[in-house]
Structure 1
């Protein structure tokens, strides 16, 4: 049966190419697949560069800083691949620090999940953070921070960058323990733990179980009680 002609008065338009929409969809899907493949390839390049840089830094420790050429050789990539993702070696080191922080976040969260009580979660948090002062982890941390060229801005004498991210894990257990300001208290606890971690890392010493217990107890004693926040608000 022949279709009715369009009525100009109704603003109908004749689709002279009914398949054009389908062709457009196909083109879009193909383009998206190409972008996805390229994105996956780029993600692989970045991971190889990060892993290679970390490996070279661990081997050299604090004796010498690797060049971009050393990193791309270890990664089996080219200078073009490096600069496609990082404007400088400092940018790569910053990415390493961020990557390490996210790895530590996942590890600490997993360890905290083993504890049923908020007190246990805080203890596990402190213990997991301080575990970065043990032999191999400490050597890796020292090497990366030394390459960053801004040690005091990352860990030790100034507020450590990872503390802000890791402090997020303490908010809920501290709230359950009665903190009137869990975000603030979590930040204080994180500064305390990462400050001590910095001391252990750079002095090449390790925390004892007693150290972990004392730091945990200190963090728990520092909770803001509800009446304290009310007093501050009235003042």
Structure 2
């Protein structure tokens, strides 16, 4: 990562820090930019995994061929296929997190923010999204993550979005309560994905009520 220059008062600061930053920028300018290569591998992996669904798991050779790259390119960035799947899971969690934060930001009342969070998580059951999510989670099982372990890999990081509304609602331990709620909701998400069903409006209401009840426990 290229470090940005910081404003300093003349005469202050460590000259060695300045030298280190300049040297780092020069070094990074000479290094190859593999961003496009990694993006191609991730995109090819996602598409290949989606095609295989939950009937089979693609090989590294299948992903490399779909990306139009070499084995050397693959192993330059990932130690194994499991490492690549882990990256896909992390990428998916980050994108879902951005979506949830955006939806929650539309509300000023903490209870409504919790509702938006529940609805946002359950948006993963929507048709094409559900098929892709399930396929990635199925492959994530071989990486020691996802459904094979009985816990959705995004439950912990995305549960942190509930800390603030839970605290505003009076939780004495918002981190713990948010963890309970997130594990429950993501557990139900896995159930819906595996049964190719979607929650009803009444079920969304019930999940929201359950999460809010965790604050009062």
Q: CA RMSD in A?
A: 2.2
| Aligned twin of 1:33 | 29
| Aligned twin of 1:120 | 112
State TM-score, norm by structure 1.
Answer: 0.78
| Aligned twin of 1:10 | none
**1:71 corresponds to which of 53, 63, 71:** 63
Deviations 1:167-226 (A, max 9, x none): 11000001001111100110011011101101100011101111111100111112146x
State TM-score, norm by structure 2.
Answer: 0.84
State which structure, 1 or 2, has the greater radius of gyration over its C-alpha atoms.
1
Distance 1:149 1:156, change over 3 A: closer
Report which stretch shifted further, 184-193 or 137-146. Answer: 137-146
The answer as to 2:35 corresponding to 1:51 is no
Mapped partners of 1:85, 1:47: distance in 2 = 11
Figure out how many residues of one structure are paired with residues of the other and give that number: 197
| Aligned twin of 1:175 | 167
| Aligned twin of 2:183 | 191
Distance 1:56 1:169, change over 3 A: same
User: What SS does structure 1 have at the residue aligned with 2:184?
Assistant: helix
Structure 1 unaligned residues grouped into runs of 5+: 1-23, 226-235
User: What SS does structure 1 have at the residue aligned with 2:187?
Assistant: helix
Structure 2 unaligned residues grouped into runs of 5+: 1-18
Distance 1:107 1:118, change over 3 A: same
Distance 1:72 1:156, change over 3 A: closer
| Aligned twin of 1:18 | none
Mapped partners of 1:163, 1:30: distance in 2 = 40
